[in-house]
Amino acid sequence: MGPLDGKVALITGGARGQGRAHATTLAAAGADIVLCDIAAPVEDVAYSAATPDDLAATAAAVERLGRRCLTATADVRDLAALQTLADRAVEAFGRLDVVIANAGIATGDPVATMSEQRWRTMLDVNLTGVFNTFRATVGHLIDRRAGHLVATSSIVATTGARNAGHYAAAKAGVVALVKSLAYEVAEHGIVVNAVLPAGVDTQMIQHDEIYRMIRPDLDNPGRGDAEEVFARGRPRPGLLDPQDVADTVLYLVTDRVKCRSGESITLANGMD
């Protein structure tokens, strides 16, 4: 018996990276999985986007664990699409218990030269996308008077981030949204929390633009230069593994976690 046997979990940004780790970890714990990802390029984002093949690969990994998996290509900026997916999930599986608002993007620019479009896209995906995910699903959890909601924020929500003020602002907004929603749904037996990791070793961070954001002191930084930042004075040098975050999310969505809500669980690895 797994801790999530009989449960259904919906995960945004599920095609790869942290989303894939969440999907396989929750499936291994017994949950059936609902995955969505835009699986296409996002405007103003330089690194390679997830693809429909990535989404299919995650679904296949879930099914190899003996769990059912429903997938959809959906943009978290599209509330109607997320509402349709949530309704499909309940129709297909009969319930919805866990929601992981994981989808996000990363770009870098100093505030002094940042375009309005870059600011707007960041907040639309990384903050409004979390709102849309919660808005589309929380009604189903309220109907059942139980459930767990988790949002992916970042340690920069508390520290700020040079050359990524838009990213830090969006992630800080996620923390405030989580705290606020936790008050609203407590009477329905629903808990809401956020995870705040430091740098995680995914495709999102493996790009020249992000290296320059992390190492503005260098003209042409590479992966090794960026990783130096995450190695300085850390208990465990280097980037976090997606599994580190997924293990924390699993803890937060089990029925044993009823007294933690509105909280921000940091995975700072000594960064904060």
b/e sequence 252-265, b meaning 16+ C-beta within 10 Å? bbeeeeeeebbbbb
**Token couple for 130:** 């979390």
What's the CATH number where 91 sits?
Answer: 3.40.50.720
> Is 32 within the bounds of a domain?
yes
**Token couple for 192:** 């809401």
Give pLDDT, residue 269: 73
> Is 88 within the bounds of a domain?
yes
Flag residues of the chain having pLDDT under 50. Answer: none
Confirm whether 167 is a catalytic residue.
yes
> Is 116 within the bounds of a domain?
yes
What does the alpha-carbon distance between residue 175 and residue 185 come to, in Å, rounded to a whole number? 16
> Is 150 within the bounds of a domain?
yes
Q: What is the pTM of this model?
A: 0.92
> Is 207 within the bounds of a domain?
no
> Is 114 within the bounds of a domain?
yes
What does the alpha-carbon distance between residue 198 and residue 271 come to, in Å, rounded to a whole number? 7
> Is 74 within the bounds of a domain?
yes
Q: Which of 167, 183, 211, 251 is catalytic?
A: 167
Give pLDDT, residue 187: 97
Q: What DSSP character marks residue 164?
A: B
What does the alpha-carbon distance between residue 261 and residue 182 come to, in Å, rounded to a whole number? 6
The predicted-structure confidence for 64-77, as pLDDT tens digits, reads as follows: 999 999 999 999 99
**Token couple for 209:** 């633009």
Give pLDDT, residue 59: 99
What does the alpha-carbon distance between residue 33 and residue 21 come to, in Å, rounded to a whole number? 12
- Give the number of domains in the chain: 1
> Is 228 within the bounds of a domain?
no
What does the alpha-carbon distance between residue 189 and residue 30 come to, in Å, rounded to a whole number? 21
Amino acid type, 180: S
Residue 107 domain boundaries:
8-201+241-267
Give pLDDT, residue 116: 97
**Which class for 149: exposed (0-12), middle (13-18), buried (19 or more C-beta within 10 A)?**
buried
Give pLDDT, residue 237: 58
Q: What DSSP character marks residue 200?
A: B
